Amino acid sequence: MSIKKYIVFLSIALGVSVLVIAIINREVIRTGKKNISGMESFSGSQAAIVPGAYVSPDGRLCDMLADRVSTAVDLYRAGKVKKILMTGDHGRASYDEVNSMRRFAEEMGVPTGDIFMDHAGFSTYESMYRARDVFQVDSAVIVTQDFHLPRAVYIARELGIDAVGLSADRHVYAGAEVYEYREIPARIKAFLQVKAGARPTFLGPAIPVSGDGRATHDQL
């Protein structure tokens, strides 16, 4: 193959790749956004699903995560959800998102038995997969920031959860522009995971969210 033909081939391949990425990105955003609404429009769901984010070594939630949990607590207080599922990274003893999230909600008055923790929610995809298969969630309000909501709602609905999204944006967050750009490859990955039926790192026995959340507690 001549250099000219090789360059033409690469140009066509690159153009097709960019087009495919753009189509997938738009589809994930479209599917997710049409199922995002305000709290007043929700009629009631089994649970609020709160994806984890950074927690400092002393257990302090970053601003984004504190806003997610606070918004979920508002949903719970309004009677829009019966339980709250905190899902995040607790893959090692030295780093624990979900217990910190639980304690934050408890301090806001949520009964401990109504808070479930998914200790193996290592990604948005794994969190939604485990919400369905381990916690047997049929309907949910996913509570996270605007940049993250379309992908999270898309995954949940594609996995069969009757999911809607609620924005937890209560502040202007440092590095927000970076998160927006990072969402593009994350959406492509989510689309491929859904289509491939990828399995999470861990599953385990069922812990129905209709029961008592203390079944998931490993600490005070």
Say what the pLDDT of residue 84 is. 98
Q: What is the pLDDT of residues 167-215, one digit of tens each?
A: 999 998 988 889 889 999 999 999 999 999 999 999 999 999 999 999 9
**19 CB-near residues (< 8 Å, 6+ apart):** none
Domains of the chain: 3-216 (3.40.50.620)
Start-to-end CA distance of the chain, whole Å, equals 67
* Residue 1 pLDDT grade (very low, low, confident, very high; cuts 50, 70, 90): low
Mean pLDDT, the chain, whole residue set: 94
94/101 Cα distance (integer angstroms):
15
Mean pLDDT, rounded, for 66-80: 97
Mean pLDDT, rounded, for 4-32: 88
11 versus 54: the higher-pLDDT residue is 54
Residue type for position 196: A
Does the pTM surpass 0.75? The reply is yes
Sheet holding 162-167, edge to edge: 115-118, 81-87, 45-51, 139-144, 162-167
Say what the pLDDT of residue 24 is. 95
Q: Which two tokens stand for residue 111?
A: 């009964």
Residue carrying structure tokens 């600490």: 219
Q: What is the pLDDT of residues 108-126, one digit of tens each?
A: 999 999 999 999 999 999 9
Say what the pLDDT of residue 167 is. 97
Q: What is the pLDDT of residues 87-106, one digit of tens each?
A: 999 989 899 999 999 999 99
> 212-217: long-range contacts at Cβ-Cβ below 8 A with a sequence spacing of 24 or more?
212/113, 213/83, 213/112, 213/113, 213/114, 213/115, 213/116, 213/117, 214/112, 214/113, 215/116, 216/116, 216/117, 216/118, 216/119, 217/99, 217/102, 217/112, 217/117
Say what the pLDDT of residue 176 is. 81
